[in-house]
């Protein structure tokens, strides 16, 4: 329970000047004798430098803000893991905003006050307000999932994903297809990009499209409405959770369709049957985002960086016949 000790304290106890202690701490030149004196004091009292004072003085802040819109999403959690894995020298100031624009704006203010040296946003929905707040922020910003020219960004190749899933869907020669997605203005990448390839490939098929929410319960209820009146043999959801909602609706209405989802989550292998899904490696994405930020901070490029990440289709039981 020792009180926090400062450089001045050490200096006094060792009968040296503060600057000598500072030099000792930063690997400057100190005589063997004073080095030993200071050494024992530092370890005896378990001295820890005050990061606040350091940052204030040096004006480089080894703190980066991370804004996380939702934690009930495997993708976001995996990206966080990636960030942590790649991080070697920073402290993350993580703020959860629960998809509230107001909270996100407040978070940006807060992080600005903390003078973080960078900002990583795992969001997929940048409103005008947020864009303005971000641009007024004089630090590098890395965002994810949204192709905003104003910021450095890491994107999922949702267009390609849609093409691949579309081709795959065709190969299943379905009779009647149900598509679950969200309004495109809510999330362009997910609501639009992901499905363009699918629409294109299934242009000549019997396709029903409904809009729903990100969570399982709502998706199930919405799916239930159409599935209780129609029988589908192929269901494609814009996210795994939506697809699982539909899967439950399918079980409830006793129809045995095939199911395809998007996104990597452990839910895919939690449900029965395991879900065929187009997966991104969000862990790697997180690493990439951190390294991008670090790179930008060091090299200060004039152009905004734009990185695109591919995913892959993983086939599981839900698109097979025998279950």
Q: Which residues bind DNA (CB under 7 A)?
A: 4, 6-8, 15-20, 22-23, 25-26, 28-31, 33-35, 49-50, 53-54, 56-59
Which is it for strands 276-279 and 312-314: parallel, antiparallel or unpaired? antiparallel
Q: Which residues bind a second copy (CB under 8 A)?
A: 1-4, 46, 48-53, 55-56, 61, 71-72, 74, 77, 80-81, 84, 91-96, 98, 109-110, 112-115, 135-136, 138, 216-217, 244, 248, 251, 266-267, 269-272
Query: Contact 319/167 with Cβ under 8 angstroms?
Result: no
The listed partner (DNA, a second copy, none) that binds 221, CB under 5 to 8 Å by sort, is none
Residue 233 vs 317, nearer CB to a second copy: 317
- Which of a second copy, DNA, none does residue 30 bind (CB under 5 to 8 Å by kind)? DNA
Q: Residue 126: phi, psi to the nearest 5? A: -100, 110
With CB under 5 to 8 Å by kind, the binding choice for 20 among a second copy, DNA, none is DNA
Radius of gyration in angstroms for the set of CA atoms belonging to the chain, rounded to a whole number: 26
Sign of CA dihedral 137, 142, 144, 147: positive
Which backbone phi and psi does 23 adopt, to 5 degrees? -65, -40
Q: Which of 13, 66, 80 is nearest to 42 (CA)?
A: 13
CB of 21 vs a second copy, minimal distance in Å: 17
Q: Which is nearer to a second copy, 168 or 239 (CB)?
A: 239
Q: Which is nearer to DNA, 75 or 111 (CB)?
A: 111
Nearer to a second copy, 66 or 169 (CB): 66
309 close to 291: Cβ distance less than 8 angstroms: no
Selection from DNA, a second copy, none that 74 binds (CB < 5 to 8 A by kind) is: a second copy
DSSP three-state, residue 138: coil
Nearer to DNA, 23 or 213 (CB): 23
Q: How far is the CB of 30 from DNA (least distance, A)?
A: 4
Question: How far apart are alpha carbons 18 and 15 in whole angstroms?
Answer: 9
Three-state DSSP string of 42-63: HHHHCCCCCHHHHHHHHCCCCE
């Amino acid at each position: 329970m020792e009180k926090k000790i400062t450089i001045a304290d050490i200096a006094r106890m060792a009968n040296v000047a503060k600057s000598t202690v500072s030099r000792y701490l930063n690997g400057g030149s100190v005589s063997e004798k004073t080095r030993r004196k200071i050494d024992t004091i530092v370890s005896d009292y378990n001295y820890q430098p005050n990061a606040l004072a350091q940052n204030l003085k040096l004006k480089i802040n080894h703190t980066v803000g991370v804004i996380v819109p939702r934690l009930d999403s495997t993708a976001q959690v995996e990206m966080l893991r990636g960030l942590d894995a790649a991080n070697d020298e920073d402290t993350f100031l993580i703020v959860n905003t629960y998809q509230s624009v107001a909270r996100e704006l407040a978070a940006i203010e807060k992080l600005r006050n903390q003078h973080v040296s960078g900002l990583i946003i795992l969001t997929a929905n940048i409103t005008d307000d947020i864009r303005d707040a971000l641009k007024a922020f004089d630090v590098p910003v890395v965002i994810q999932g949204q192709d905003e020219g104003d910021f450095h960004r890491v994107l999922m190749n949702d267009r390609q994903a849609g093409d691949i899933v579309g081709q795959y869907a065709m190969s299943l020669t379905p009779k009647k297809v149900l598509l679950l997605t969200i309004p495109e203005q809510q999330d362009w990448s997910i609501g639009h990009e992901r499905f363009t390839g699918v629409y294109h490939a299934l242009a000549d098929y019997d396709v029903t499209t409904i809009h729903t929410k990100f969570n399982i319960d709502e998706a199930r209820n919405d799916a239930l409405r159409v599935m209780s009146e129609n029988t589908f043999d192929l269901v494609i959801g814009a996210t795994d959770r939506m697809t699982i909602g539909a899967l439950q609706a399918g079980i409830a209405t006793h129809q045995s369709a095939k199911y395809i989802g998007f996104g990597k989550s452990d839910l895919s292998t939690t449900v029965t049957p395991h879900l065929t899904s187009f997966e991104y490696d969000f862990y790697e994405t997180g690493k990439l985002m951190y390294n991008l930020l670090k790179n930008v901070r060091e090299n200060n490029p004039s152009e905004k960086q734009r990185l695109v990440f591919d995913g892959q289709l993983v086939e599981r039981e839900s698109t097979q016949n025998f279950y």
